[in-house]
Amino acid sequence: MRIEDVYIWDINAKWLGISPLQLMENAGAGIARTIEEKFGKGLRIAVFSGTGNNGGDGFVAARHLSFDNKVTLFLVGDGTKIRSEEARHNWETLKGLDFVKITVLKDSSQIKPLDLSGYDVIVDALLGAGTRGEPREPIRSAIEKINEYSGRVKIVSIDLPSGYPSKIRVRADFAVTFQWDKEDYGDFERVITKIGYPRELHHLVGPGDAKFALRKTGEHKGQNGKLLVIGGSEDYFGAPYLASKAASYLVDLVYLTMPEYSARRIGDPDLILRPVEGRNFKPEHAGNLIELAEKVNAVVIGPGIGLTEETKVFVRELIKRCEKPMVIDADGLKALAEDLSVLKGKTFVLTPHTGEFKLLFGVKPEGSFVDMVKVVEEKASEVGGVVLLKGAYDIISDEKTWKYNKTGNRGMTTGGTGDVLAGLVGALLALGNEPLRAASVGAFLNGLAGDMAKEELGENFTALEVAKKVQEAVKWVDEF
């Protein structure tokens, strides 16, 4: 797991009803339990806490340790600047206790004269995984003071040694880290303790995933994603429009390429129309569209594109020549099914429902949820990309892992919601997300927008109403 995943799991845990206060309590209790298991009871313990959530874990650990040990809590910083509600709650609790001595150290001049030789254990709860660069004062002086006692007193860090990975870091005997061993961590000993995360968090997509996927970094037009949607035919014009409309809420620019026959029916100023001649796509259109694809960050191909033989050849030719991340959907999947080899070496997300999955891979995902996951994992590995199986629970897998999404409702059986999904996944690819995250968060946002449409309209709503709820869904994620 990556350090980034710590934040995602915490946000998703809150979404599942597990409060940050619960997690902090469990973390502090786990630290205290580990210390007593390693070193016994009746100890003299100094806990150094900062003003962030790592410090909050230290407050809880101090409270638990105080039952059988003599504990002094050193707050390094200003108590009025304790950041989170959970850490403030535990600070106020600690201040009301008579058997924990508290010393506030607001600047380095108060830290340098400290004598810690009377302690058996020093607990480092100064800085957490979110800090960057070398520590600043007064934290820096606290780290240096703790390190003066390295080898003489047992030093235990919470989550990771404060200051890591800079050179100014606590030289801990070990760190107590939570629930899993983080891949980003190296060169120090650690003990892993569980803090109450349910198994779902390994695989369930939630608002934490979406927060990271929706981050925008560009300051100018076009720097926050450019997407090309290729679809439509003489029979269908709504599908590519729905995909484009949904995407337009997430990225800066959406180019919509359709046969001119259908393109005449589109009049949306938020989209940039790039029609091609005729009623359907033909192989000779591929060259110009590859040139257009070079100017964007990702491509969606397939919504409403039709199944004429010429169109199917066009789809396969385009996939073979396109070097950008792609979402292949709807009739695009049916064209692809005739020659999966065109996917070799490409970056892509396939978005089949059960019937399209069978057409693509010759097997129908059925049985238990776990059985279906195994089939999706296996086929994603075979084609070397991401497969998003749409259903009551969306199942998403790449060659390494799998995710699932629970948002959505029965009203989303209405035609066009799959096109909205394809547009959202394409937009998330255009924002620079890896395909597994783009597909997972696309499914989450699509279902969330559908749930918001249901809340307002009941179970009878259209795909366009889902697309128009994307803006509200993004705002909800941002504020969660």
Is 90 exceeded by the pLDDT of residue 407? Answer: yes
| 170 and 248 co-located in one domain | no
Q: Which residue pairs from 109-118 have beta carbons closer than 8 angstroms and sit at least 24 positions apart in sequence? A: 110/138, 111/76, 111/138, 111/141, 111/142, 111/145, 112/141, 112/145, 114/74, 114/145, 116/46, 116/145, 116/146, 116/148, 116/149, 116/153, 117/149, 117/152, 117/153, 118/44
Residue labelled with tokens 């046969």 = 259
CATH number for the domain that contains residue 288: 3.40.1190.20
Q: How confident is the model at residue 232 (pLDDT cuts 50, 70, 90)?
A: very high
| 190 and 305 co-located in one domain | no
Q: How confident is the model at residue 127 (pLDDT cuts 50, 70, 90)?
A: very high
| 195 and 233 co-located in one domain | no
Is 80 exceeded by the pLDDT of residue 397? Answer: yes
Which of these three, 200, 223, 247, is where a domain ends?
A: 200
Measuring CA to CA, how many Å separate 135 from each of 46, 169, 400? 20, 8, 36
Is 70 exceeded by the pLDDT of residue 298? Answer: yes
CATH number for the domain that contains residue 144: 3.40.50.10260
| 327 and 306 co-located in one domain | yes
Q: What pTM did the predictor assign? A: 0.92
Tally of domains in the chain? 2
Taking only the tens place, the pLDDT of each residue in 433-466 is 999 999 999 999 999 999 999 999 999 999 999 9
Is 70 exceeded by the pLDDT of residue 382? Answer: yes
| 78 and 216 co-located in one domain | no
Domain of residue 444 covers 207-479
| 168 and 218 co-located in one domain | no
**What is the reported pLDDT for 225?**
97
Which of these three, 181, 200, 219, is where a domain ends?
A: 200
Average pLDDT over residues 410-435: 97
**What is the reported pLDDT for 188?**
87
Is 70 exceeded by the pLDDT of residue 184? Answer: no
| 239 and 184 co-located in one domain | no
**What is the reported pLDDT for 242?**
98
Taking only the tens place, the pLDDT of each residue in 132-172 is 889 999 999 999 999 999 999 999 999 999 999 899 999 99
**What is the reported pLDDT for 180?**
67
Taking only the tens place, the pLDDT of each residue in 240-266 is 999 999 999 999 999 999 999 999 999
Cα gap 58→78, rounded to integer Å: 15
| 217 and 304 co-located in one domain | yes
Q: How confident is the model at residue 420 (pLDDT cuts 50, 70, 90)?
A: very high
| 94 and 130 co-located in one domain | yes
| 295 and 419 co-located in one domain | yes
Which of these three, 147, 181, 200, is where a domain ends?
A: 200
Is 70 exceeded by the pLDDT of residue 300? Answer: yes
| 214 and 192 co-located in one domain | no
Average pLDDT over residues 102-112: 97
Q: How confident is the model at residue 399 (pLDDT cuts 50, 70, 90)?
A: confident
